Amino acid sequence: MTREIARRFNHLYGREPDFEEKAEAAIKKMGKKNAKLYKELRKKYQEQGDNDALETARELLKTQQNITLGDRERLFGYVEGAGRIILPEPQALLTKASKMPGLDGQKMSKSYGNTIALREDPKTVEQKLRTMPTDPARVRRDDPGNPENCPVWEFHQVYSSDETKQWAQNGCVTAGIGCVDCKQPIIDAMLKELAPIRERAEEYVNDPKLVQNILNEGSEAAREVARDTLEEVREAMGLEYK
């Protein structure tokens, strides 16, 4: 939704009457070599749809010290054939495991009751993992299974090395290992990951004032950014009265 708002706002208010003239003037400030490279990248993207050229142009602009923030935003839009980028579109910053599986194979969520908390007691974590469901086809220890039908296999994708995943997969399909055996590397890896998190959290649990100070500092930093953004928004909309 935030990206849609940014795109809509830029479409309505990003095109200044003298946008092209200001963009060309900003290009000249970059110096001959960088200006030539920028124009080449812009041409490649607009005429050939070369997305690599677009990314290279964006990185080039980020390194320029001779242009203002407003010029940089204009040139971001100019390379795309749009107007000035007043509100940059936020991009996703995903980890390797962008969606953590839950104990039942669904997305981990409190509403599903399938979670492991970051500060959960180690014994509770181990108990939850040991009792989590597995492939329903493995009723007995010597029944072969299918890792794709087992929630534990999803945890192996997050926590296990290629060697451990190979061991778990082969052991499952051949009934060479039991489900409890398959879970043990996950238990060890998760307890190892959570231990320093619990340790760091203790400092804040014992001193709530630290948390309040962090919130206050973060709020002030956010207000400064928001204040600058709103000034640009008001200026773009013609609501700046001086």
pLDDT confidence of residue 133: 93
Say if residue 64 is in the same domain as residue 122: no
User: What is the residue-level pLDDT of the chain in tens, covering all 242 positions?
Assistant: 888 888 888 878 877 778 888 899 999 999 999 999 999 999 999 888 888 999 999 999 999 988 988 888 889 888 888 777 788 888 888 887 778 889 998 889 999 999 999 999 999 999 999 999 999 999 898 999 999 999 999 999 999 999 999 999 999 999 999 999 999 999 999 999 999 999 999 999 999 999 999 999 999 999 999 998 898 889 888 887 65
Report if pTM > 0.75. no
pLDDT confidence of residue 96: 79
67 is in which domain, residue-wise?
2-91
pLDDT confidence of residue 241: 64
Rg of the chain's alpha carbons, rounded to an integer? Answer: 27
In a domain, 194, yes or no: yes
Residue closest to 188 by CA, chosen among 161, 166, 148, 151: 161
* 156-163 long-range Cβ contacts below 8 angstroms, 24+ apart: 156/182, 156/185, 156/186, 157/97, 158/96, 158/97, 158/100, 158/101, 159/185, 159/186, 159/189, 159/190, 159/193, 160/185, 160/186, 160/189
Say if residue 192 is in the same domain as residue 141: yes
pLDDT confidence of residue 99: 81
Say if residue 62 is in the same domain as residue 120: no
Which residue type sits at 240? E
In a domain, 60, yes or no: yes
* First vs last C-alpha separation in the chain: 33
Length of the chain counted residue by residue: 242
In a domain, 219, yes or no: no
| Helix 19-29 vs helix 69-80: crossing angle, to nearest 10 | 110
Say if residue 7 is in the same domain as residue 52: yes
Q: How many domains does the chain have?
A: 2
* Token duo for residue 53: 């050229």
Say if residue 79 is in the same domain as residue 130: no
Say if residue 196 is in the same domain as residue 148: yes
In a domain, 211, yes or no: no
Residue closest to 84 by CA, chosen among 1, 35, 32, 21: 21
Q: What is the CATH number of the domain that holds 149?
A: 1.10.240.10
What does the alpha-carbon distance between residue 117 and residue 162 come to, in Å, rounded to a whole number? Answer: 26
102 Cβ partners below 8 Å, 6+ apart? 108, 109, 112, 114, 115, 151
